[in-house]
Amino acid sequence: MSIGLSLPDGDRMRGRLGVLKRHGHAAALLGILLAGLMLRWWLIPRGGFIADIVLFKMWAEQLASMPLADFYRLANPSTDYLPGYLYLLAATERLRSQVDGPVSMLEPFFFWIKMAPILADLLLGLLVYQIAGRLVTQRRALIASALLVLNPGVVFTSAVWGQVDSVGMVLTMASLWALLGGRPALAALLGGAAFLTKPQYTLLLAVAGVAYYSSEIRRLPDFRSELARLSVARWAVRNLVLPGGALLVTLQLLLLPFSVTLWPGLSVAWTLRSRLVAAGTKFPVGSADAFNLWGTPIAGPWVPDSTMGWLSLSHQMWGYLFLGVAVALCALLAWTAGDDWGIVLWACFAASLAFFVLPTRIHERYLFSAIPPIAILAVRYRWAVPFFVAVSSLHLANIWYVYELHRTRYESANPFFASVASLFSVLLLILCIGIVAKLIVVKRRHLCASNLPGGFSP
């Protein structure tokens, strides 16, 4: 004789339907990723930005043939890449040499150079699905993943051009995913790796960090009791000491093999600051063919950003000032939004768009970092859909335009089109920042009305 508990038929049926639905979502996500992989696989041999691929090939061979500490010092002191992607490039070349052996032609490298960013595209689609799943239904999260994985500009960047923007972006979004999940130490570790891979794309993490700490500070108890002080001490360890330590250790451990350090005085060739300066001074122009503020008739592409502008300030200084104001507004929105993830993501998106439009020395691909957050927002808010379409179209137009410029040796140059597209990006940012300002007012009114503590984790 056995004694057991059984669910009513209705509950059992709902449980089975729930399992089937989860399996269906997993199958749909797998289908999206496989479709993205097959599309990219088909495109691999059908193009490549030769100048970049030749450069990556040279770096890969140097990284595989000499100690990492000698790369910056002996081989490429002017390299504008930090160690993050260089580790991946070295591993790719070692794997390629084991499979293919010595190869002198460029074409066999197309597959190997493109595989890392292609795989990063797919991981990015998975992360978009996971983050969107916190905000919307699983079905809408699948749509967000498809908007990213099958986005024409994202596909073109990795599978045709051969560039690595998705490698840095997948680390950035992984850090954001950890932060939204209430794991600041893991977020700091991943953010450090992201910064050393593509520092341009980690600005959105700073904005998200403002929102996280805003929410966490509101949860702090009153300091007057001994128990409260002990709770605050634990809070400080969890949210300040451990993340700060994780960030510093990650940066230092990844830098040292390349003879780079965070602090001067150690027996190494470079500091992180000197490597950042070397990268930042390689293209001292307003717009390196980016469709942004400095690509408009205000300046025009490839005009030195030392050119003096209004009030006897250089274009570079004006770019910093404009960006500072825009990021400050985004940070204020993130602070007032607290645990409203959708609004926080809008602040992150606005900051990424501002980074592309406002400062000088920007390349055409840097709009990439705005696509993952706006893909998520497009399935959360209907009013965000036009922004997704506009940003995706602008990104594709910019990278395609520059790709064709180099393929045709600038015979396809169209200054009028570039100027119109640049003006469009400025107008898009103005509208975006206008929404940021409006949301700040709405959120501050709501915060004053409710005056209730919030939490960042679900």
Per-residue pLDDT tens digits for 201-249 = 999 999 999 999 999 888 877 666 666 667 888 888 999 999 999 999 9
| DSSP-assigned letter for residue 220 | P
Backbone φ and ψ for 94, nearest 5 degrees, come out as -65, -40
Least confident of 287-301, 399-413, 438-452: 438-452
pLDDT digits (tens, 9 = 90+) for 149-189: 999 999 999 999 999 999 999 999 999 999 999 999 999 99
Residue 408 has a CB neighbour count (10 Å cut-off) of: 10
Sign of CA dihedral 436, 442, 447, 450: negative
How high is the pLDDT of residue 143? Answer: 97
Is residue 447 very low, low, confident or very high in pLDDT (cuts 50, 70, 90)? low
In terms of pLDDT, which residue wins out, 194 or 339?
Answer: 194
CA dihedral 365, 370, 375, 376 (to 10 degrees): 150
Count of helix runs (H) and strand runs (E) in the chain: 18, 4
Q: pLDDT band for position 282 (50/70/90)?
A: confident
Residue 222's CB is within 10 A of a number of other CB atoms, namely: 10
**What does DSSP assign to residue 261?**
E
> What pLDDT score was predicted for residue 445?
78
CB 26 within 8 A of CB 82: no
In this prediction, residues 345-370 reach a mean pLDDT of 96
- Please count the residues of the chain: 458
- What span, in angstroms and rounded, lies between the C-alpha atoms of 86 and 91? 9
CB 87 within 8 A of CB 196: no
* 410-438 confidence digits (pLDDT tens): 888 899 999 999 999 999 999 999 999 99
Q: Which range among 341-345, 371-375, 387-391 shows the weakest confidence by mean pLDDT?
A: 341-345
pLDDT given for residue 11 in this prediction? 55
- The pLDDT of residue 1 is above 50: no
- Rounded to an integer, what distance in angstroms lies between the CA atom of residue 429 and that of residue 230? 45
Q: Which residue has the higher pLDDT, 38 or 228?
A: 38
- How does strand 362-363 pair with strand 287-288? parallel
List pLDDT tens digits, range 87-101: 999 999 888 888 876
Task: Return the closest-CA partner of residue 73 out of 287, 250, 278.
Answer: 278
Confidence at residue 309, expressed as pLDDT on a 0 to 100 scale: 87
Token readout for 362 is 């920007």
Q: Hunting for tokens 């000698």 — which residue is that? A: 70
Tell me the average pLDDT across 398-417: 92
The pLDDT value recorded for residue 3 is: 42
170 touches 120 (CB < 8 A): yes
Q: Are strands 287-288 and 260-261 parallel, antiparallel or unpaired?
A: unpaired
Mean pLDDT, rounded, for 194-207: 95
Report the pLDDT averaged over residues 66-85. Answer: 86
Range from 22-36, 332-346, 415-429, 442-456 carrying the lowest mean pLDDT: 442-456
Domain ranges within the chain, ordered by starting residue: 32-450
DSSP-derived 3-state class of residue 162: coil
* Residue 419 CB partners (closer than 8 Å, separation 6+): 295, 296, 297, 300
Burial of 312 (0-12, 13-18, 19+ CB in 10 A): exposed
Q: Mean pLDDT of all residues in the chain?
A: 89
Looking at residue 345, its pLDDT comes to: 96
- The stretch 20-27 carries a mean pLDDT of 76
Tokens of 55: 């450069």
Band of pLDDT at residue 285, cut at 50, 70 and 90: very high
Q: Tell me the residue ranges of DSSP E strands in 280-364.
A: 287-288, 362-363
Instruction: Tell me which residue has tokens 């341009």.
Output: 200
Q: Say what the pLDDT of residue 21 is.
A: 66
Can you give the pLDDT at residue 40? 96
Rounded distance, CA 117 to CA 165, Å?
7
The pLDDT of residue 234 is 87
Angle at Cα 363 formed by Cα 357 and Cα 367, nearest 5°?
55
pLDDT for the residue 219: 81
Tens digit of each residue's pLDDT (9 = 90 or more) over 46-56: 888 988 998 89
